[in-house]
């Protein structure tokens, strides 16, 4: 289970006195605990690996945005800090799809959903999120999907 892998990595980082890795993994654990608490509030079970992959993807995206803001503000040391955290978090994500692979997967999901136009975007995105959590940027996939559906 991914949760156990992250816990083991935190223990290893603590033993190695790797402060950056420890702080980043603690942030991941805090986000996971927040999701567990939110799930408990609505009667859902503990956070699944798929949900955890979505959390990790969101954390990476937040850090990418922060790094860009820091770069634009002339704070390269803070941008570097954010990018270091991205590398640590990305260690726990599956390999991201290439652009060509995203197009291929989106086309397959369109066929499976029997989508005919832009009104079917939600149905196709649900299939993509179910099958490929953490493997692609869904904002980019949405753009590819919109292009394919409007051309259909």
pLDDT at 43: 84
- Of the candidates 112, 89, 67, which has an alpha carbon nearest to the alpha carbon of residue 6? 89
Give the 3-state secondary structure of residue 111.
helix
The answer to whether 140 and 102 are in contact (CB under 8 A) is yes
For residue 42, the model assigns a pLDDT of 84
pLDDT the model gives residue 93: 86
How much is the pLDDT for 66?
Answer: 97
**pLDDT for residue 85:** 96
Whole-number pLDDT of residue 14:
97
Domains for the chain: give ranges and CATH numbers.
2-90 (1.10.1510.10), 99-151 (1.10.10.410)
Mean pLDDT in consecutive groups of 10 residues from the start of the chain, 152 residues: 93 96 96 91 84 88 95 96 95 85 88 85 87 79 85 59
Residue 42 is classified by DSSP as T
Per DSSP, 18 falls in state: -
């Amino acid at each position: 289970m991914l949760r156990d892998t992250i816990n083991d990595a935190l223990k290893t980082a603590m033993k190695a006195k790797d402060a950056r890795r420890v702080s980043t993994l603690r942030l991941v654990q805090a986000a996971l605990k927040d999701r567990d608490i939110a799930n408990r509030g609505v009667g859902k079970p503990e956070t699944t690996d798929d949900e955890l992959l979505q959390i990790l993807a969101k954390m990476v995206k937040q850090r990418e945005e922060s790094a860009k803001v820091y770069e634009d503000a002339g704070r390269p040391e803070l941008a570097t800090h954010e990018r270091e955290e991205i590398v640590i978090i990305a260690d726990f994500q599956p390999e991201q799809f290439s652009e060509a692979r995203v197009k291929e997967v989106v086309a397959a999901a369109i066929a499976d959903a029997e989508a005919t136009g832009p009104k079917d975007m939600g149905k196709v995105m649900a299939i993509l999120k179910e099958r490929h959590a953490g493997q692609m940027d869904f904002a980019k996939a949405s753009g590819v999907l919109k292009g394919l559906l409007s051309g259909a």
